[in-house]
């Protein structure tokens, strides 16, 4: 148990679907992150939220829409995705003043 | 440009042999340095981290890493590898302050032969 829980673990969606990924952290951290992990590429930082405020959007296409209603929950809303968006999406959290991030187990997304 | 390089994509070692995974970084100043491990289908688990002080840091599962400022390196080592160490290993850096925007290497996949 890492303290960061992601649901669902696996998701298959069509290009016209709308779905959401959920992340919940039970560590009392104030920063949360979305990363994309594709085969043969480094983990790509997508979004950062610090105290519920988005502090980083790493040039992510608008078909990915994050939401952070509180410091414990982070969502990634997906719509009209492309097959190249198929990847493992990882959520992480960290505490201000402590740089180490704690990761969830990820959601394996397949866009068909 | 800020980057992390892990030159070895795949490494195969025999169980009981020693291991060294290489990591070099390019950064404006000495950053925080991390090694993470990822088992198949799992998220990333922190093995160890370096912030300051002693350049040889100990982590979980018998791993250690040495920071060498002159070489901009942070290599991971283990004296005797176990079959359960087979996984993918990621080196990462983060700035010393502000939002912790981690930069990851491409990873090294470790295979352990029985």
Segment 45-64 of chain A within 8 Å of chain B by CB: 45, 48, 50, 55-56
Residues of chain A positioned with their CB less than 8 A from the CB of B46: 100-102
- Shortest CA gap A15–chain B (Å): 24
**Cβ separation A50–B99 shorter than 8 A:** yes
Q: What is the mean pLDDT of each run of 10 residues along chain B (114 residues)?
A: 91 97 90 93 91 92 95 97 96 79 92 95
Which residue among A45, A56, A103 sits closest to B43, beta carbon to beta carbon? A103
pLDDT digits (tens, 9 = 90+) for A8-17: 999 999 999 9
How many whole angstroms separate alpha carbon A75 and alpha carbon A94? 16
Kindly determine whether residue A56 and residue B99, on different chains, have CB atoms separated by under 8 Å: yes
Residue B98 is predicted with a pLDDT of 61
Within 8 A of B45 by CB-CB distance, chain A residues are 2, 103
A37-81 pLDDT tens trace? 998 788 899 999 988 788 878 889 999 999 999 989 999 999 999
Annotate chain B with three-state secondary structure: CCEEECCCCEEEEECCCCEEECCEEECCCCCEEEEEEECCCCCEEEEEEECCCCCEEECHHHCEEEEEHHHCEEEEEECCCCHHHCEEEEEEEECCCCCCCCEECCCEEEEEEC
- Give the confidence band of A26 by pLDDT, cuts at 50, 70, 90: very high
Tokens of B57: 């840091």
Chain A CB contacts of B36 below 8 Å: 103
User: How much is the pLDDT for B99?
Assistant: 62
Residue of A101, A104, A108 lying closest to B102 (CB–CB)? A101
Query: Which pLDDT score is estimated for A69?
Result: 94
Instruction: For residue A106, name the pLDDT band (cuts at 50, 70, 90).
Output: very high
Taking 80 as the threshold, does the pLDDT of residue A2 lie above it?
no
pLDDT of residue A41: 83
The residue among B6, B7, B99 with the most chain A CBs within 10 A of its CB, best to mutate, is B99
């Amino acid at each position: 148990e890492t303290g960061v829980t992601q649901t669902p673990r696996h998701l298959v969606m069509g290009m016209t679907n709308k779905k959401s990924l959920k992340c919940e952290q039970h560590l009392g951290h104030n920063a949360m992150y979305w990363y994309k992990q594709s085969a043969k590429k480094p983990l790509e930082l997508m979004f950062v939220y610090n105290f519920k405020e988005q502090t980083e959007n790493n040039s992510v296409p608008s078909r990915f829409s994050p939401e952070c209603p509180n410091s414990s929950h982070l969502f990634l809303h997906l719509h009209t995705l492309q097959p190249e968006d198929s990847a493992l999406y990882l959520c992480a959290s960290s505490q201000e003043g402590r740089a180490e991030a704690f990761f969830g187990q990820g959601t394996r997304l397949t866009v068909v | 440009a800020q980057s992390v390089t892990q030159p070895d994509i795949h490494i195969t070692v025999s169980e009981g042999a020693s291991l060294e995974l290489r990591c070099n970084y390019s950064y404006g100043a000495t950053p925080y340095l991390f090694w993470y491990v990822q088992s198949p289908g799992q998220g990333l688990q922190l093995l160890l981290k370096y912030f300051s002080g002693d350049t040889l840091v100990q982590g979980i599962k018998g791993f250690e890493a040495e920071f060498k400022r002159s070489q901009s390196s942070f290599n991971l080592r283990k004296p005797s590898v176990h079959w359960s160490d087979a996984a993918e290993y990621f080196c990462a850096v983060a700035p010393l302050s502000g939002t912790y925007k981690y930069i990851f290497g491409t990873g090294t996949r470790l295979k352990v032969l029985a």
